[in-house]
Amino acid sequence: MLGHDDFAKEVWSRAPSLLSGTNIDGETPLITALMAANLSLASDIITAASCHMQHDDLKHMLLKVDRSEGNALHHAMRNDFENLALQLLNIEPRLSEQVINTGESPMYMAARRGYTEVVERLLDIPSSADSGTKDESALHAAVRVGHTGQDYTAVNVLGNNAVNVVYSKTALLKTLKWVS
């Protein structure tokens, strides 16, 4: 008799559209697996989706958000799946743009947790959001929790380091708030 993993793989191979379906809370099977902190199942889902879905359909599935506006990247980092977060960013860099309803961006979450490789990867994506809670940025989070090992001098593809990126966005926000 098939185990749960084998059963799921068999179903996905026959009906890959089930991989992108959502429940009433907007959760895909991948998000549900990540919320349950089931790295094995989440990895199996990504593998199955990569094998049985068109690349555009895979990206569309990864970009879906749940009720809290969180995507698979948010949930991967929330459960300390740093390598999976990097894998997701390699498949779909636009995951870095989504901000959850508390205002946290993937960069903020990665900086707060000290995920140096994820922060560096996010800095390579020009459209990455860097906002956090209470008008903070990713740099605020990293400094506040003492991730002094983080390399804030690493540059993105545009030649800007984390301090430049955060300062320009923070200065713009503060200016806009002061003017309005």
> Residue 159 maps to which CATH number?
1.25.40
Asked whether residue 130 is assigned to any structural domain, the reply reads yes
Number of domains in the chain: 1
Q: How many angstroms separate the CA atoms of 24 and 45, rounded?
A: 20
- Give the residue-averaged pLDDT of 122-132: 89
112 falls within a domain: yes
The answer to whether residue 167 is domain-embedded is: yes
Indicate the residue type of 42: A
Residue 72 lies in a domain: no
Span 63-95, pLDDT tens digits? 999 999 999 999 999 999 999 999 999 999 999
Query: 3-state class of 41 per DSSP?
Result: helix
81 in a domain, yes or no?
A: no
> Is residue 109 included in any domain, yes or no?
yes
- C-alpha closest to that of 92 among 54, 118, 63, 50: 63
The alpha carbon of residue 157 and the mean position of all alpha carbons in its chain are separated, in whole angstroms, by: 19
The pTM of this model reads: 0.78
The pLDDT value recorded for residue 64 is 97
Mean per-residue pLDDT, 162-177: 52
**Residue 149 domain boundaries:** 100-180
Q: Kindly state whether residue 137 falls inside one of the protein's structural domains.
A: yes
Query: pLDDT confidence of 130, banded at 50, 70, 90?
Result: confident
Please determine, for residue 123, whether its predicted confidence score (pLDDT) is greater than 90. Answer: no
